[in-house]
Structure 1
Amino acid sequence: MASASGMFDAERVAVVGATDREGSIGAAILRNLLADFDGDVLPVNPNVERVFGRPCHDGIEETDADLAIVVVPAEVVLEVVEDAGKAGLENLVIITAGFGESGDDGTTREAELKALAEKYDLDIVGPNSLGIISTSSGLNATFAPRNAISGRMSFMSQSGALVTAILEWAGDRNLGFKDVVSLGNKAVLDEVDFVETWGDDPDTDVVLGYLEGIESGTEFVETARAVTRQTPVVVLKSGRTEAGARAASSHTGAIAGSEAAYKAGLEKAGVLRAQSTEELFDFGTMLAGGPPPETDGVAVVTNAGGPGVLATDSVGDSELTLTAFDDETKRRLRGVLPSTASVHNPVDVLGDASADRFGDALEVVLSDPEVGSAIVIACPSAVLSFDRLAGAIVECRAETNVPFAVCLMGGSSIDAAAETLSSAGIPTYFDPARAVRSLDALRSYRSIRDRVDHPPATFDVDREAARAILERVESKRDNRLGVEAMGLLDAYGIPTPVGEIVDSPAEATAAAERIGGDVVMKIVSPDILHKTDIGGVEVGVSLDEVADTYETLVSRAYNYQPDARLFGVQVQELVDLADGVETIVGMNRDPQFGPLLLFGLGGVFVEIFDDTTVRLAPVTEREARDMLNDVDSAPLLRGARGSPPVDEAGIVETIQRLSQLVTDFPAIVELDINPLVATPDGVVAVDIRLTVDPEIL
Structure 2
Amino acid sequence: MGRLSELFDPETVAVVGATDRDGAVGRAILENLRDQFAGRVVPINPSHEEVLGLECYPDASSAPPIDLAVVVVPPEVVIESICDLAAAGTENVVVITAGFAETGSEGAERERRLREIAGENDLNVVGPNSLGIMATANGMNATFGPESALEGSISFMSQSGAFITAVLDWANDQGIGFRDVVSLGNKAVLDETDFVREWGDDPQTDVIIGYLEDVADGRDFVDAAREVTDETPIVVVKSGRTDAGAQAASSHTGAIAGSERAYEAGLDQAGIIRAHSVQELFDSARALAGLPEPETDGVAVVTNAGGPGVLTTDAVGDSRLEMADFADETIDALAEAMPAEANVYNPIDAIGDADVDRFGEALEIALADPNVGSAVVVAAPTAVLSYDDLAETVIGKREAYETPVVTCLMGGKRAREAEETLRKSGIPNYFDPSRAVSGLDALARFGERRERTADVPATFDVDRERARVILERAYRRDDNRLGVESMDLLEAYGIPTPAGEIVDDPVRARDVAGSIDGDVVLKIVSPDISHKSDIGGVKVGVDTDDVYDAYEDVVSRARTYQPDARIIGVQVQEMLDLESATETIVGMNRDPQFGPLLLFGLGGIFVEILEDTSVRVAPIGDGEAREMVDEIKAAPLLRGARGREPADIDGVVETIQRLSQLVTDFPAILELDVNPLVAGPDGVQAIDLRLTVDTEEL
- Under TM normalisation by the shorter chain, which class is it? over 0.9
Q: Distance in 2 between matches of 1:474 and 1:146?
A: 58
Contact 1:296–1:443 at 8 Å: present in 2 too?
yes
Q: Please tell me the residue identity of whatever aligns with 2:647.
A: V
Q: Distance in 1 between matches of 2:106 and 2:463?
A: 49
Instruction: Please list, as runs of the form range in 1=range in 2, the aligned pairs for 1:442-457 lying within 5 A after superposition.
Output: 442-457=443-458
Provide the residue aligned with 1:297 in structure 2: 298
Give, in angstroms, the shift of residue 409 of structure 1.
1.8
Give, in angstroms, the shift of residue 183 of structure 1.
0.6
Q: Distance in 2 between matches of 1:131 and 1:463?
A: 48
Judged with a 3 Å threshold, the aligned counterparts in structure 2 of structure 1 residues 109 and 362 are, in CA distance, closer, same or farther, namely same
Q: Distance in 2 between matches of 1:219 and 1:640?
A: 40
Q: Please tell me the residue identity of whatever aligns with 1:10.
A: P
Judged with a 3 Å threshold, the aligned counterparts in structure 2 of structure 1 residues 214 and 257 are, in CA distance, closer, same or farther, namely farther
Contact 2:455–2:620 at 8 Å: present in 1 too?
no
Provide the residue aligned with 1:564 in structure 2: 565
Contact 1:257–1:592 at 8 Å: present in 2 too?
no
Deviates more, 1:157-166 or 1:451-460: 451-460
Give the SS at the match of 2:361.
helix
Provide the residue aligned with 1:251 in structure 2: none
Give, in angstroms, the shift of residue 644 of structure 1.
3.1
Provide the residue aligned with 1:507 in structure 2: 508
Instruction: Please list, as runs of the form range in 1=range in 2, the aligned pairs for 1:129-278 lying within 5 A after superposition.
Output: 129-242=130-243, 258-278=259-279
Contact 1:3–1:193 at 8 Å: present in 2 too?
no
Provide the residue aligned with 2:92 in structure 1: 91
Give the SS at the match of 2:138.
coil
Give, in angstroms, the shift of residue 445 of structure 1.
0.9
Judged with a 3 Å threshold, the aligned counterparts in structure 2 of structure 1 residues 650 and 257 are, in CA distance, closer, same or farther, namely closer
Provide the residue aligned with 1:480 in structure 2: 481
Q: Please tell me the residue identity of whatever aligns with 1:41.
A: V
Deviates more, 1:496-505 or 1:636-645: 636-645
Deviates more, 1:158-167 or 1:213-222: 213-222
Provide the residue aligned with 2:54 in structure 1: 54
Give percent identity, aligned residues only: 62
Provide the residue aligned with 2:542 in structure 1: 541
Per-residue CA deviation, residues 226-253 of structure 1 (Å, 9 max, x unaligned), is 111111111111112348999xxxxxxx
1:29 paired with 2:67, answer no
Provide the residue aligned with 1:688 in structure 2: 689
Contact 2:196–2:224 at 8 Å: present in 1 too?
yes
Contact 2:245–2:259 at 8 Å: present in 1 too?
no
Provide the residue aligned with 2:39 in structure 1: 39
Give the SS at the match of 2:27.
helix
Give, in angstroms, the shift of residue 382 of structure 1.
2.4
Deviates more, 1:38-47 or 1:640-649: 640-649
Give, in angstroms, the shift of residue 396 of structure 1.
1.1
Q: TM-score normalised to the size of structure 1? A: 0.96
Provide the residue aligned with 2:472 in structure 1: 471
Contact 2:134–2:182 at 8 Å: present in 1 too?
yes
Q: TM-score normalised to the size of structure 2? A: 0.96
Provide the residue aligned with 2:14 in structure 1: 14
Give the SS at the match of 2:502.
strand
Q: Distance in 1 between matches of 2:631 and 2:41?
A: 55
Per-residue CA deviation, residues 664-693 of structure 1 (Å, 9 max, x unaligned), is 222222110001112222221110111222
Provide the residue aligned with 1:67 in structure 2: 68
Instruction: Please list, as runs of the form range in 1=range in 2, the aligned pairs for 1:123-134 lying within 5 A after superposition.
Output: 123-134=124-135
Provide the residue aligned with 1:573 in structure 2: 574
Contact 1:518–1:574 at 8 Å: present in 2 too?
yes
Give the SS at the match of 1:324.
coil
Contact 1:96–1:127 at 8 Å: present in 2 too?
yes
Give the SS at the match of 2:606.
helix
Give, in angstroms, the shift of residue 81 of structure 1.
0.5
Provide the residue aligned with 1:250 in structure 2: none
Q: Distance in 2 between matches of 1:245 and 1:581?
A: 26
Q: Distance in 2 between matches of 1:93 and 1:340?
A: 63
Give, in angstroms, the shift of residue 5 of structure 1.
2.1
Instruction: Please list, as runs of the form range in 1=range in 2, the aligned pairs for 1:79-118 lying within 5 A after superposition.
Output: 79-118=80-119
Contact 2:243–2:258 at 8 Å: present in 1 too?
no
Q: Please tell me the residue identity of whatever aligns with 1:54.
A: L
1:432 paired with 2:433, answer yes
Q: Distance in 2 between matches of 1:135 and 1:169?
A: 17
Instruction: Please list, as runs of the form range in 1=range in 2, the aligned pairs for 1:659-678 lying within 5 A after superposition.
Output: 659-678=660-679
Per-residue CA deviation, residues 287-307 of structure 1 (Å, 9 max, x unaligned), is 111221111111111111222
Q: Distance in 1 between matches of 2:641 and 2:519?
A: 28
Q: Please tell me the residue identity of whatever aligns with 1:15.
A: V
Provide the residue aligned with 2:369 in structure 1: 368
Contact 1:503–1:568 at 8 Å: present in 2 too?
yes
CA RMSD of aligned residues (A): 1.8
Q: Please tell me the residue identity of whatever aligns with 1:463.
A: R
Give, in angstroms, the shift of residue 257 of structure 1.
7.9
How many equivalent pairs are there? 688
Q: Please tell me the residue identity of whatever aligns with 1:307.
A: P
Q: Distance in 2 between matches of 1:296 and 1:492?
A: 43
Contact 1:238–1:244 at 8 Å: present in 2 too?
no
Contact 2:502–2:570 at 8 Å: present in 1 too?
yes
Q: Distance in 1 between matches of 2:360 and 2:20?
A: 55
Q: Distance in 2 between matches of 1:305 and 1:648?
A: 48
Per-residue CA deviation, residues 587-640 of structure 1 (Å, 9 max, x unaligned), is 111122121110111111111111111011121211111112211222332334
Provide the residue aligned with 2:414 in structure 1: 413
Judged with a 3 Å threshold, the aligned counterparts in structure 2 of structure 1 residues 146 and 81 are, in CA distance, closer, same or farther, namely same
Give the SS at the match of 2:137.
coil
Give the SS at the match of 1:604.
coil
Contact 1:647–1:679 at 8 Å: present in 2 too?
yes
List 4+ stretches of structure 1 deviating above 4 A.
Answer: 243-246
